Amino acid sequence: MSNASASVPTPEEIILTFGELMYRDNIPHSVGFVLYGIYLAFFCVYVWFTMHYTTKPLVSKILIGAMLLLFLSTTAQFIADMLLNVQQIRGYLMWTDIPLEQRRNLWLQKYEPAYILEKWPTLNFMVSDLIVIWRASVMYSRHRWWQIALWIFAFVDVVIWAYAFACTSRDAVQRSLNPTTDQHLITASLFISLGTNLLGTGLMALKGWKHIRLMEHLKWKGDVVRILLLLVETGVIWAAIQLLTCILSQIDTVALTPFDIATAVIQKSEIYFAAILPTATVIIVRLHKSFDSARPGNHEMEDRYHTSSTIRFENPTKESVPTLQ
């Protein structure tokens, strides 16, 4: 009799468990809210540049569509985090008509759609990876085999992320209690995404190195090297975040420990960094273009190098010479 009563948690123990769960969830959510504010600032700057320096090429319109899709996905993530944060407090502590021991399960069932959305970083990662692939593809527009390799990686990346989302969204509440399948699928997706980013960043670094060697003998160097360096640095930062997430996903953590909370913070941060870094990269490229277009004599330079809104690599001497377009 005493053993049976000892196995049943007291109301005080249940309330303490609720507090620990809310503390564990609120910390990564709070970090996510701060990062969303940073992303929102970057996105507003991007919108301002897009409105004042509009471009007509189809590729630029596709890029605008991708950035808008990234904004919608990131905003949906923020709304889901905010909704779950508020409703978790309400459900755990204010559903007084429901017994304490039943509240968590009923809350999970009621907010399963929001839970699925909160577990859906898929679109952010896909768009971020595709932007990296697109940048590298533009630079290697005259190299068919590199183009094929890049877009094969992009296709596999999209398929894996879509499959992972389709599986992890099914029976989300049950999977949250036994997340082994989720971990394997998400880990595979992260490694494919990491490989895609490393390939695109590596090709951009190679192009930048060749450009530096070629421009050593020319008087006019331009700012292409700085733009390439920015793209490479952004890719390296994103790769480091992805690699850290992949490593953490393979480590078994004890719930509610500092390491478990740190892992949750990094995983939540990755979702927002997947939106911040591509947006910041596009802003810097467009900022350079706006300054460059205001320089005296720049129109002659544009005619000579056929400038547009992206980084292309034209060669008046049949050798790949990057120019900012």
The mean pLDDT value for 250-276 works out to 82
Half-sphere exposure of 140 (CA within 13 A, CB side): 26
Q: Can you tell me the mean pLDDT for 177-195?
A: 72
37-46, 121-130, 210-219: which is most confident: 37-46
Dihedral, 197, 199, 200, 201 alpha carbons, nearest 10? 80
Element (H, E) at 261: helix 258-293
pLDDT digits (tens, 9 = 90+) for 51-103: 877 666 766 777 888 889 889 889 988 888 888 888 888 888 888 888 877 88
- The strand pairing partners of 101, in sequence order, are none
Any idea what the CATH number is for the domain that residue 160 is in? 1.20.1070
Spatial separation of the C-alpha atoms in residues 312 and 142, rounded to whole Å:
10
User: Angle at which helices 11-52 and 258-293 pack, to 10 degrees?
Assistant: 10
Instruction: Give mean pLDDT, residues 214-224.
Output: 66
pLDDT (0 to 100) of residue 310: 42
Cα angle, residue 215 at apex, residues 227 and 219 outer, rounded to 5°? 105
Beta bridge partners of 211: none
Helix (H) or strand (E) holding 323: strand 321-324
Give the pLDDT mean for 228-237: 81
Backbone φ and ψ of 281, nearest 5°? -65, -45
Q: What is the pLDDT of residues 257-269, one digit of tens each?
A: 788 888 888 888 8
What is the structure's pLDDT at 230? 78
307: three-class secondary structure by DSSP = coil
Most confident of 129-143, 192-206, 307-321: 192-206
Structure tokens at 63: 């890029």
Q: Report the alpha-carbon distance of residue 312 to residue 305 in Å, rounded.
A: 10
Tell me which residue of 206, 214, 21, 27 sits closest to 105, measured CA to CA.
Answer: 21
Distance in angstroms (rounded) separating the CA atoms of residues 75 and 57: 27
Least confident of 12-26, 36-50, 111-125, 197-211: 111-125
Residue 137 reports pLDDT greater than 90: no
Q: The pTM is what?
A: 0.75
> To which H or E segment does residue 236 belong?
helix 224-249
Does the CA dihedral 258-260-261-262 come out positive or negative? positive
Q: Does pLDDT of 203 surpass 50?
A: yes
- Taking the C-alpha atoms of residue 93 and residue 15, their distance in angstroms, rounded to an integer, is 8
Q: For residue 118, what are the contacts with CB-CB under 8 A and spacing of at least 6?
A: 77, 80, 81, 84
pLDDT band at 136 (very low <50, low <70, confident <90, very high): confident
Mean pLDDT computed over 284-310: 50
pLDDT of residue 312: 46
Whose structure tokens read 């990269």?
281
User: How many secondary structure helices (H) and strands (E) does the chain include?
Assistant: 12, 2
Structure tokens belonging to residue 200: 């695109």
Give the CA count within 13 Å in the CB-facing half-sphere of 133.
25
The whole-number pLDDT of residue 168 equals 58
Which range marks the domain in which residue 49 is found? 2-293+302-324
Count Cβ atoms below 10 Å from residue 98 Cβ, excluding itself: 13
**What pairing do the DSSP bridges indicate for beta strands 311-314 and 321-324?**
antiparallel
Angle between helices 144-168 and 180-215 (to 10 degrees): 160
How many domains is the chain partitioned into structurally?
A: 1
Distance from C-alpha of 244 to C-alpha of 196, rounded to nearest angstrom: 16
User: How far apart are alpha carbons 203 and 206 in whole angstroms?
Assistant: 5
